[in-house]
Amino acid sequence: MPYFYIARCADCSLYCGSCKDLQSREDTHNTGKGAKYTRSRRPVKISYSEEFPTLSEAMRREAEVKRWPKDRKEMLMRKHIQQ
């Protein structure tokens, strides 16, 4: 299943992405083969994810959340932990 995810980088910044396999994507980020943004901010830990029926829906969610300020992303992650 496709996923939208938020990863926390070593510098405490957040990275939003989408993928089909969360563990594989986290490994890709941590080996320096992922997005340019995360290459200099390793290690990266996927801290939040949502599952979607299609990759295009996951990418749509990614585009939406990427526009949010960091504090709103943090709130989304906290709500998920509390549930």
Identify the pLDDT of residue 83. Answer: 60
Identify the pLDDT of residue 1. Answer: 92
Look at the chain and report how many structural domains it folds into: 1
Identify the pLDDT of residue 54. Answer: 98
Question: Which residues in the chain belong to E strands, given as ranges?
Answer: 3-8, 14-19, 45-51
Tell me the one-letter amino acid at 74. E
Tell me the one-letter amino acid at 79. K
CATH of the domain at 25: 3.40.1440.10
pLDDT along the chain (83 residues), means of 10: 97 98 98 95 97 98 98 93 66
Nearest residue to 41 (alpha-carbon basis) of 8, 74, 82, 6: 8
pTM: 0.94
- Tokens linked to 49: 């994810």
Domain that holds residue 50: 3-82
Identify the pLDDT of residue 82. Answer: 66
